[in-house]
Amino acid sequence: MADYYGVRITPDDGGKQIILDAGTRFLSYLSTMQLNGRDRVRGIKAPTPGATPLVVPRSLVDIFPGDGQVPQFFYVNGWGVDAGGNFSYSVGGSKGVENVVNNFATVDVFSIAGQSNPGSYGARITDGANFMEINDTSYLGYVTWRGTVEVNGYWDIPASVLNMGPYVVFARWNNTSTPLFLNRDNNRIECYTGFGSAGGAGVGDSVAGVQLVIISCAFSPSLPASGWGMVIRNAQNVITFSSKYPPVMWRGGTFNFPNYDNFDTSSGEVLSWVDPSGNVALPMVPLCSIGIQRGDFSRSSGNYSFRPVLYAGFKMSGNSVSCARARPAGADAPVSLYQKAKQVGCSLPCLDAADYF
């Protein structure tokens, strides 16, 4: 962002200095849940007052063997989180999905701290998060890794990040040919190609110039390595802010993805580009999977033609983002019965790369 007066910190990672202003926030980890068709309401840790929920799906759909040659297809179709920590969701798919007790989706739930009034002591950040009011450090979250990488087939999330606990990856790149997919099973960012193969796709190809900001949650930050810097403690004398790590800078930007179902029977992927809203110059999207698509390989069985089901990743062009087919889901679906592409309508907060690079 523009260079102006204020409190400026130099994090231990040696990257761009950060100016603490109204965009200063923290990101909280609330829950990881496997979802079925029957519950549709779960109790989770309540977000801090005024926080914006951030649901980061690992997968939203699964396919189970059915009668004969027709599998059953279940998916989560939308969600919400209220101030009391009630996570509600809707489901769709095959007949009887509302009674399915098998888990068919997995989501991580976070929240980004809202604006709060400054306390009666300490550093004052007008309209920013009040780090002195936090008495539960499990709500805290900071940037524990940032940099620009080439994803050559895959890129491993650093072990130093994994050791910190739950994390969210925000990314910015420019490539309309190859999708990026965050594989939570092996903690890798993966590229996919070969969508005409029998397996649906495979890890391969590369994407250069990927800017990454990784936020880790649920820990109390330590002192800067140099012994110099800025530290905020709460009334219990626990560190709730340290210039060792860049803070979460969120300026209200979001990607608002519409819900859609595409039942076209042709091959190829479906792209639907979404621009960010809000005060953001160089948006970064949280890597997750908010839909499914199909591969191009076709096989016949009985009266049906089948194609592989793929979890959706993202492609990015300039400031626009689109779901794109990526990781194989491990099952085929009848072309005439199920969607070629399914996207769940949701809003994903986006960070501004200009704050970090």
Distance CA 164, CA 219 (A): 7
Element (H, E) at 294: strand 291-294
Q: What is the pLDDT of residues 248-292, one digit of tens each?
A: 888 889 999 999 999 999 999 999 999 999 989 999 999 999 999
Q: How far is CA 274 from CA 15, 53, 316, in A?
A: 29, 20, 10
- For residue 318, is pLDDT > 50? yes
**Closest residue by Cα to residue 173 from 279, 16, 281, 282:** 282
| 130 and 117 Cβ atoms separated by less than 8 Å | yes
Higher pLDDT, 55 or 126: 55
Beta bridge partners of 64: 72
Helices (H) and strands (E) in the chain, counts: 1, 31
Amino acid letter, residue 65? P
- For residue 120, is pLDDT > 70? no
Q: How far is CA 98 from CA 39, 55, 74, 75, in A?
A: 8, 21, 10, 11
Q: What is the pLDDT of residues 7-50, one digit of tens each?
A: 788 898 989 988 877 677 778 899 999 999 999 999 999 998 88
- For residue 117, is pLDDT > 70? no
- For residue 210, is pLDDT > 50? yes
Distance CA 75, CA 235 (A): 45
What's the pLDDT at 5?
56
What's the pLDDT at 170?
96
DSSP label of 45: P
pLDDT band at 350 (very low <50, low <70, confident <90, very high): very high
What's the pLDDT at 230?
83
User: How many Cα atoms are found within 13 Å in the side-chain-facing hemisphere of 231?
Assistant: 14
Higher pLDDT, 313 or 135: 313
What's the pLDDT at 283?
98
Specify the pTM: 0.89
- For residue 109, is pLDDT > 70? yes
What's the pLDDT at 135?
66
Distance CA 207, CA 272 (A): 20
What's the pLDDT at 235?
79
Average pLDDT for residues 322-350, to the nearest whole number? Answer: 92
Q: What is the pLDDT of residues 138-157, one digit of tens each?
A: 778 889 999 999 999 999 99
DSSP label of 228: -
What's the pLDDT at 1?
45
- For residue 73, is pLDDT > 50? yes
What's the pLDDT at 116?
55
**Measured at the alpha carbon of residue 104, what is the angle toward residues 296 and 40, in degrees to the nearest 5?**
130
Average pLDDT for residues 97-103, to the nearest whole number? Answer: 91
Structure tokens at 122: 């300490």
Length of the chain as a residue count? 357
| Percent of the chain residues topping a pLDDT of 90 | 57
Q: Give the contacts of 168 (CB within 8 A, at least 6 positions apart).
A: 27, 54, 56, 108, 110, 214, 215, 217, 286
| Percent of the chain residues topping a pLDDT of 70 | 90
What's the pLDDT at 131?
63
Beta bridge partners of 34: 106
Question: Cβ atoms within 10 A of the Cβ of 208, count?
Answer: 12
**Closest residue by Cα to residue 167 from 153, 150, 187:** 187
Average pLDDT for residues 224-252, to the nearest whole number? Answer: 85
Q: Give the contacts of 262 (CB within 8 A, at least 6 positions apart).
A: 270, 339, 340, 341, 342
**Closest residue by Cα to residue 182 from 113, 108, 122, 117:** 108
- Dihedral, 92, 93, 95, 96 alpha carbons, nearest 10: -50
Least confident of 165-169, 195-199, 283-287: 165-169
User: Could you tell me where the DSSP H helices lie in the chain?
Assistant: 159-162
**Closest residue by Cα to residue 172 from 214, 232, 109:** 214
DSSP label of 241: E
- For residue 132, is pLDDT > 60? no
| 66 and 58 Cβ atoms separated by less than 8 Å | no
Q: Give the contacts of 133 (CB within 8 A, at least 6 positions apart).
A: 116, 119, 234
Amino acid letter, residue 158? P
Structure tokens at 56: 């980061």
| 262 and 341 Cβ atoms separated by less than 8 Å | yes
Distance CA 274, CA 254 (A): 10
